[in-house]
């Protein structure tokens, strides 16, 4: 019996460390959940939200794993159907963060008229310019 694993999306991935903060971009595909290479504490595969993005002046569309702060901003700006996110101008904002003891560059997709900030709990949020970030509810 042959066993298969889901393959990752074809093509190159956007690397946050190689992108200048402030770069303009557009999503060029629907955002879909994909199986991640990471597992949760029980060993089950996690999922990630993946789309294709084209940087301003770039010829090739790149894969991007979109974080929750960016997903929330895209929903707020363009609605909950990721097909409506395609083609809108976004500003890429980058920030060094620590993940599992490693410093990595996080990429945030910021719609026009929005800003990256922090809520009262210290979580990164993307809100309309001039709006106070709402606190993320705790469980």
Query: Cβ(87)–Cβ(27) under 8 Å?
Result: yes
Summarised one tens digit per residue, pLDDT across range 101-114 is 999 999 999 999 99
Specify the pLDDT at position 7: 56
Label residue 24 by pLDDT band (50, 70, 90): very high
CA-based nearest residue to 93, from 65, 123, 115, 61: 115
Given a cut of 70, whether residue 139 has pLDDT beyond it is no
Q: What is the pLDDT of residues 44-66, one digit of tens each?
A: 999 999 999 999 999 999 999 99
CA-closest candidate to residue 31, choices 71, 78, 73, 59: 71
Residue 89, strand partner residues: 26
Q: What percent of the chain has pLDDT over 70?
A: 89
pLDDT value at residue 131: 86
- Rounded to two decimals, what is the model's pTM? 0.86
């Amino acid at each position: 019996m042959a066993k298969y694993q889901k393959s990752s999306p074809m093509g190159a991935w956007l690397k946050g460390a190689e992108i200048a903060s402030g770069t303009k971009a557009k999503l060029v595909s629907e955002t879909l959940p994909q199986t991640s290479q990471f597992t949760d504490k029980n060993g089950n595969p996690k999922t990630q939200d993946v789309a294709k993005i084209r940087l301003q002046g770039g010829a090739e569309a790149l894969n991007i794993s979109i974080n929750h702060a960016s997903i929330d901003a895209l929903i707020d700006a363009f609605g909950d159907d990721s097909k409506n996110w395609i083609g809108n101008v976004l500003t890429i904002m980058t920030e060094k963060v620590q993940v599992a003891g490693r410093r990595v560059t996080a990429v945030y997709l910021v719609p026009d008229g929005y800003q990256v900030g922090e809520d009262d709990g210290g979580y990164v949020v993307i809100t309309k310019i001039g709006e106070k970030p709402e606190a993320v509810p705790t469980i």
